[in-house]
Structure formats: C-alpha cells, structure tokens
Structure 1
Amino acid sequence: MFDDLPPDLERLETLRTWHALWVARIDEKIRQVRVQAEQQERAAAAREERRPDWLIEYGLNRDAMPLGVHTGDCHMAGKRSKGVDADTARRAIAGGVEACSHCRPDTALGLLE
C-alpha cells in the first residue's frame, strides 16, 4: 500500500486538525453558495410574477405617444415601457402603434395570422 503520511502520531494529528479546518471552511462556503443560489431563484421567481403580459413603449417626452407594443418578455422593450392588459395592447396596435418585429405581439394577440 502506498503510504506517504508521516509515521508519528503528533504529525498525523496535526494533519488531521489542518484538514478538518479546511473541510469546515469548504462546508461553510458550500452553505453560503447554496443560500445565495436560493435567494437568486426567489428573486427571479418574484420578477417573473411581476412581469406583465404586454408592454407599451413610450418615447423620451413625458407626454410622448406610444412607440411600440411588445410581449412582456421581449428583450427589445425599452426602459420606458409600461405593462398593459391584452385589450389595451390590441387597441394600441389597431390605433397604429407599431408592433415589435422581434416578439410579434400582433400575432400573439390574434390580430395577424
């Protein structure tokens, strides 16, 4: 058998203590990473629950006209978007507001086939 450990009890106990401390540090880090992952999952679930089904994007001006309609998960929706219900999104598209060419809310709303 391959035995590269020291032969005396004192050094073996020192190695045992050293490695026990490292195992404790590793266990604590694993616990911290698991807690952080759970917090991130909860935060992502909360964001998912708050996400609206439809978005209307507005221009820079406070009283600006709507610029576009997006689905709630569209990556192209800007920061000046507001959540709306399906009827409001349909009326906006029917009223001439441009439907996003990436997420195609007009198709999802049943306005186009």
Structure 2
Amino acid sequence: MSESSPEERLRALHFLRRVQARHLEETDQWIATEEQRAAEHARRRPPPATPDWALERGERAKPKAIHTSLCWNEFFMQGITREQAIEALTRGGVPACPTCEPDKELGVLD
C-alpha cells in the first residue's frame, strides 16, 4: 500500500471538514427546533398556582414575616405549607404580617 501525497491528505482533510461542518449545522438546526418546541410547551402550561402561605425573608435570608397569598410577592417570599406557616408562627418566632393577618386565618392567635 502506497502512502498518499501531501496534496491528497490535504484534500481529504478539507473534505472531512466540510462533512463535519454540515453535521454541525444540522445539529444546530435540531437544537433550535427543540428549543422552539420547549418554548411553545412552556407557553401552553398554566402558570404555577400561588401558594396559600408565604415566608418573607429579610436581610441575610432571615425569616421576616408569614403572609397569606393576598400578600404574595415572588421576589421576596417563598411558598410554604400550612404546617410550615403554623410552625413558624408558633415555634419559630416569625411574626405574622399585620396586613394580611395569617395568624387569624390559621387560627393561631397569641
């Protein structure tokens, strides 16, 4: 078997590069299609339900207050369960929001 010339090897490498570039373009098209499908799927899904209870965090993520869904603000609050709200109000020392009064709604009054 004879060795190929530098020109033949160079031609073969250029051919390989063209094939790989086509494969990369095809992969990029598949990715774009899947991203579009995922975006369409996300638009069709209903937004998540607002939690009934929320824990507001203050500086350094310290618990600041418990709220009902009436006060919900997703930037400063984390959704919690009824049990977690009661625990925070009764044993955790977290105050109830004076506006929405979750302690009244939960039946937890001092």
Q: TM-score, normalised by structure 2?
A: 0.51
The 5 Å alignment of 1:10-89 reads 46-47=46-47, 50-61=49-60, 64-74=61-71, 77=73, 79-89=75-85
Structure holding more helix per residue: 2
C-alpha separation in 1, matches of 2:82 and 2:54: 9
Aligned twin of 1:107 = 104
CA deviation string 1:39-80 (max 9, x = no partner): xxxx9xx45x5100000000132xx220000001216x5722
Secondary structure, in 3 states, of the residue corresponding to 1:50?
A: coil
Q: Is the 8 A contact 1:51 1:73 kept in 2?
A: no
- Cα–Cα, structure 1 residues 86 and 73, in superposed 2: closer, same or farther, change >3 Å? same
Length, aligned pairs only: 65
Unaligned runs of 5+ in 1: 1-42
Report the 3-state secondary structure (helix = DSSP H, G, I; strand = E; otherwise coil) of the residue aligned with 1:70: strand
Paired position in structure 2 for 1:97: 94
Counterpart-to-counterpart distance in 1, 2:58 and 2:106: 23
- Which residue of structure 2 aligns with residue 6 of structure 1? none
User: How high is the TM-score relative to the length of structure 1?
Assistant: 0.50
Runs (4 or more) in structure 1 with deviation over 6 Å come to none
* Letter in structure 2 aligned against 1:89: A
How far apart are the structure 2 equivalents of 1:55 and 1:86? 9
Q: Identity across aligned pairs (percent)?
A: 37
RMSD: 2.3
